[in-house]
Every structure is written in structure tokens, then in C-alpha cells.
Amino acid sequence: MNVLLSKNQLAAQASYAEFFGIKIAPLAAQIDREEQVPESIIKQLSTAGYLGAILPEACGGLNLDPVTFGLLNEEAGKACTSVRSLLTVQNMVGAVLNRWGSEPLKNKFLPQLTSGTRIAAFALTEPGHGSDASSIEMQVTEEGSFYVLNGTKKWISFAQIAGLFLVFGKLNGKICSLLVPSGAPGLSVKPINGLLGARGCMLGELHFKNVRVPQTHLVGNVGFGLFPVAFTGLDIGRYSIAWGCVGMAQACMESSKLYTKNRKQFGEPIANNQLVKRMLSEMAVDIKAARLLCFSAGKYMEAKKREAFGEILAAKYMATKMLKSASEASVQLHGANGLSNEYPVERFYRDSKIMQLIEGSDQMLQLMISKYN
């Protein structure tokens, strides 16, 4: 992989590995246990510029190219799924706002997103509508110079701490997207806890009861809320998740290699067992394959090719499947210890299931891949 990266990308990769390995990875178990990302970590991410990784430098972002952004997500995923998810959502909303927002909206909110003054949330999913986003029921009506929102959103990452929601609803049957600040009268957030994995993502259920926002908070035009506005964010999300899965699988493999080297049975390390070698080698090859698909998607994105959409779908689908297999094998190689939260593979195994559902389930991606590839 190194021969495919520029010197700047290799240097960035090394700095990301150091940052997440030292500052984030040691806290991953705590984040999982306490089901929240500490404010101190958010401040460190902000100081490093990662909250605006793909946003313009003029608003405090790093303006990373897609491949370098992918490397950031790989190292973040390797350390902590929930922290990587925070970077994902913040950059998803930021990318949508930067691409489709008005200049006043960008000038007001983008610096707040890059600085971490406001944490963002991408409010698309509803209790009855996930994959079928075109059937969302959030109602938007006009009232003078305001839009009024009524409805419910569910499974919204970081809703518990978000200061700004990108909300998708229907105005006269047409999908639109609106920026809704937290604290708006009529908006309430119900925390969702006790998830199988990605427990630090601080999910919430949003309830809108006659929530009024200025019509100037419209992002894009009415009727374009799903295509292309939402899909601008979803592309970023799927791409970020794919790289994050590669990082998670890499962490599983490294943990497994160390464990099997030190674990002795029948008088020798279990790493000497041929079946163990087979499991590790399959893991290594699958990780390399997924990483190359992610790299390919990044290059298509950088070149702004139409094929980028299909490449992102393929990368996300392959990476989530690969992670499921790798994390399961890692737990198996750890034996009973793999079931204990004293070892990180237990957490990665739980987190892997979440990756197969968010930003498009594996089955939904299969349908989309058959159409676009």
C-alpha cells in the first residue's frame, strides 16, 4: 500500500497513527463502557483539525484529499469506532453544508463545526423508515418566513450532544433539508442506550413539535433534499465507514497475532498451529483487498468521476463483510478470552455488526451495487 501513497500521505498516516494510538485507543474501552465520547477528546479532535478534515481551510478545515481522509478514518477506526463515527458525522454534515448551503449559512456554521463549538447530527432515519428514505414522514410546512417541522427521527448519532441537526422532511410532498439548532422550542431528544456496539455514538430519538426555523436555513432547494443533498453526506459516510472497517480489522489482526504468539497450548505457542496460520493469513489478505478497494474509491472521488458512487458502495460492502469475518476469527483465536471485555476484539466483534447496518445495510448495498456496477 505504501507505494501507492505520496510522501505527504505517508507522513499524514504516521501522524494519525500516533495521535489515535496514544490519545484515543487507551480510552476506547471506557468510551464503550460509559457510552459517551468525553468532551476532552472532542477538544483534542478539534485542535488537530479532524472535525473539519475535508472542509476548506478558510473555515478552519484541513481540506484533505479523499485518500488522506480515508487514512485518517482507518487510524481512527483502529482506535475507537465511536470516535471515528464522530469524525464521520461531523464531516458528513460539513460537506453537505459546504456544497449546498448558502453563503450566509456556510459563514455562520462551518467555523462552528470545524472548531467543535457545535457537534453536528445527520437526521435522516425515522422509526419507520431507514433504507426507504424517500418515504420519510417528517412534515414541513410554511408559516410566513419560517418553516415548521413536525415528526420524529430515530437512531441519530450524537443526537445527545449535537448543537446542529441537518434534518430531512417533506414540504408539499417534496423532500427538503433544513438546519435546526439544538434548543429550538419544540425539539426534544430522547437518549438511546444499551446498543450492541458503537456504544459511544450517543444516539438519540428526536421529537419535533411545531419547531420553527427561518426559511434561510434551507440547505439546497426544495425537492432536492434526498438527491443530491442527502447523498452528498451518505457518500462521505459510507466511504468513511469503509476505511474505518479496515482499521478495525487491522486492530483485530494485530491483537490476534500478539495473542497467538504468547498463548501456549501443548507446550508451544498456538501461532505455530497450521490452522491458526491459515486464519491469520486469510485475515491479512482480506484486509489488503478491502484497503485497496477503499483506495480505489478515494481516487475516483479525487478525480470527480461518476463511477465514484459505485466504487464507494463496493468498498463499504466489502469492508463490512471483511470486518465481520476478521473480528469473528479474532474472537475465535482468543478463545474464551475473546469473550471478555479485557480484550479489544470483543468490542470490535460487537461493533462490526453495526457497520453492516449503518449508512445502508449490506442487503441494500447489494441492490445498489447491482445497478451501478
Residues involved in catalysis: 359
Give the CA-trace dihedral at 202, 207, 210, 214, to 10 degrees: 20
Q: Are 80 and 24 in contact (CB under 8 A)?
A: yes
- Determine the Cα angle at 107 with ends 102 and 112, to 5°: 120
Q: Are 94 and 64 in contact (CB under 8 A)?
A: no
Among residues 160, 170, 112, the alpha carbon closest in space to that of 138 is found at 170
C-alpha cell at 369: 451495487
Q: Are 218 and 166 in contact (CB under 8 A)?
A: no
> For the residues of 69-110, what is the DSSP string, one character each?
HHHHHHHHHHH-HHHHHHHHHHHHHHHHHHHHS-HHHHHHHH
Strand partners, 178: 167, 218
6 phi/psi in degrees, rounded to 5: -75, 170
Angstrom CA distances, 60 to 57, 106, 217, 250, stand at 5, 12, 21, 31
Residue showing cell 410554511:
142
Residue showing cell 456496539:
197
Residue 160 CA to residue 146 CA, distance in Å, equals 25
Residue 342 CA to residue 335 CA, distance in Å, equals 13
> For the residues of 180-237, what is the DSSP string, one character each?
EETT-TTEEEEE----SS-GGG--EEEEEEEEEEEGGGB-S-TT-IIIIIIHHHHHHH
Residue 342 CA to residue 361 CA, distance in Å, equals 30
Strand partners, 174: 171
